[in-house]
Amino acid sequence: MKLLLLLSLVALAQCLVHRIPLRKGKSLRQSLREHGLLEHYLKQYPYNPASKYFHTHRSFEPLQNYMDNEYYGTISIGTPGQDFTVIFDTGSSNLWVPSVYCSSPACSNHNRFNPADSSTFIGTNDTLEITYGTGSMTGVLGYDIVTVADINVIDQIFGLSETEPGDFFYYTPFDGILGLAFPSISSAGATPVFDNMMMEHLVDRDLFSVYLSKNEQSGSFVLFGAIDPYYTINGISWIPLSAETYWQITMDSVSVSGEHVACSLGCQAIVDTGTSLLAVPNRALSAILNALGANSNGEISCKDVSTLPDVVFHINGKAFPVPPSAYVIDMDGYCILGFEGMDVPTESGEIWILGDVFIREYYVIFNRAKNMVGLSRLSRL
């Protein structure tokens, strides 16, 4: 009986996929759940967000989830293409990869670009230097074909690292970084990859969207030029940018259990796929830790996690909650909060960084056409 029911529900799902009109009634998800078949169905017929793009082989860039800490995809540079794994970073604007010019230990265990092996490489005498919250690099600039999500970007300027000081990049699972912020913060005035995609009319719309999986699951992606409606069933809240530098927005306040605990007079924040945690001003961090009952190091008893409240970010008049399942990091029975103190002074004052801990709860749309960020709350089983 259950098999027959499952087969009928599978047929129903196929109707939905092919847009066949259905009679009004319960949704497929509701019917499956009521009969105890939802989990089985999703295992047998998992949603593949890439499937709708296979016929064109464009726009969709799958990301590898590395321990819920970093998300990276593969690009190629040159003719023939040389492959590199890169962080798709909305908190910076430059593309760079290690090169054969680099003798730092961090370059020794990563793929290195060799200009001599590319027939389309054009070198320059221009240099660049980039310092991140963790790690830094120096190098030279060059031009070549860069292929991202099967999109060929001609004459893309990029950095070839000569030094990668320290040990941060030595231990990263990725080779380089592809910045997706605005040209105004690009080192050496280099045009970002997505700006060239727009100028060369390589994307259908001047936006890209991001889904980051949790619990080290697969399925994370960057989608260039499109919005996947599967991830926006809860609607999209559009937030205007407050500056065209990072993907910077204005927050109204941050609350815990209905009480404002930080940013009570408003503050600035950036939505940053390249930051793992929620980075907040140090004085705000103390208030949040106190409100959640954590010690000064952010440690908390794992047995208390189920009773913790949401941390709610109030932005553009709407509430965006982050539950404890998202902001508590369980490291084999040792629990800490996914907040870190970081004072980042800007012309707008102290800034918050809404990193992956926040982004995993939302499908995020980065809209260059309207200079807005769109947030859609993700549905979880």
Q: Which of 88, 276, 111, 247 is nearest to 177 (CA)?
A: 88
Catalytic residue among 68, 272, 310, 356: 272
List CB contacts of 229: < 8 A, sequence separation 6 or more.
Answer: none
DSSP 99: B
Half-sphere exposure of 112 (CA within 13 A, CB side): 19
Is-catalytic flag, 332? no
Cis status of the peptide bond prior to 229, with omega within 30 of 0: no
Q: Would residue 263 be called left, alpha or beta, if left means φ above 0 and alpha means ψ between -120 and 50 degrees?
A: left
Q: Is-contact 204 224, C-beta < 8 A?
A: no
Q: Which of 50, 109, 81 is nearest to 228 (CA)?
A: 50
> How many of the other CB atoms lie within 10 Å of CB of 217?
9
Quick one: how far is CA 220 from the chain centroid?
9
Half-sphere exposure of 153 (CA within 13 A, CB side): 24
Q: Which of 271, 224, 104 is nearest to 172 (CA)?
A: 104
Is-catalytic flag, 89? yes
User: Which H/E stretch holds residue 336?
Assistant: strand 334-337
DSSP 207: E
Q: Which of 301, 288, 302, 310 is nearest to 361 (CA)?
A: 310
Catalytic residue among 89, 195, 228, 310: 89
Cis status of the peptide bond prior to 80, with omega within 30 of 0: yes
Catalytic residues, which ones? 89, 272
